[in-house]
């Protein structure tokens, strides 16, 4: 999921450089959402991933 977030961030940067503002803002928004979902899942896996018997 972090990989997809980085891909959308790169797409947003490239679109902004070429002047496509709508595409850049959409891609940046998607990248932001995916990054926060990744952070939540990462923290949850740290908390619940290591259970000792």
- Is there a contact between 9 and 28 (Cβ–Cβ < 8 Å)? yes
Q: Is residue 30 part of a domain?
A: yes
Is the confidence at residue 52, as pLDDT, over 90? no
Structural domain of 27: 2-48
Domain assignment present for residue 9? The answer is yes
Measured CA to CA, the distance from residue 21 to residue 38 in angstroms comes to 25
Domain count, the chain: 1
* 53 falls within a domain: no
pLDDT in tens, 4-37: 888 888 898 999 898 888 888 888 898 899 999 9
Q: Does 25 fall in a domain?
A: yes
Degrees, nearest 5: CA angle 50-51-53: 145
Q: Would you say residue 50 has pLDDT above 80?
A: no
Q: What is the pLDDT of residue 38?
A: 92
Task: Kindly report whether the global pTM for this prediction surpasses the value 0.75.
Answer: no
Condensed to tens digits (0 to 9), the pLDDT of residues 37-49 reads: 999 999 999 888 8
Domain assignment present for residue 42? The answer is yes
**Tokens 């928004």 — which residue?**
29
| pLDDT grade for 53, boundaries at 50, 70 and 90 | low
| Residue pair 24/16 in contact by the 8 Å Cβ criterion | yes
């Amino acid at each position: 999921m972090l990989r997809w977030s980085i891909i959308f961030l790169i797409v947003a940067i490239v679109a902004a450089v070429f002047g496509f503002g709508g595409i850049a803002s959409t891609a940046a928004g998607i990248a932001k959402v995916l990054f926060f979902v990744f952070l939540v899942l990462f923290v949850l896996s740290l908390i619940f991933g290591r259970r000792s018997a």
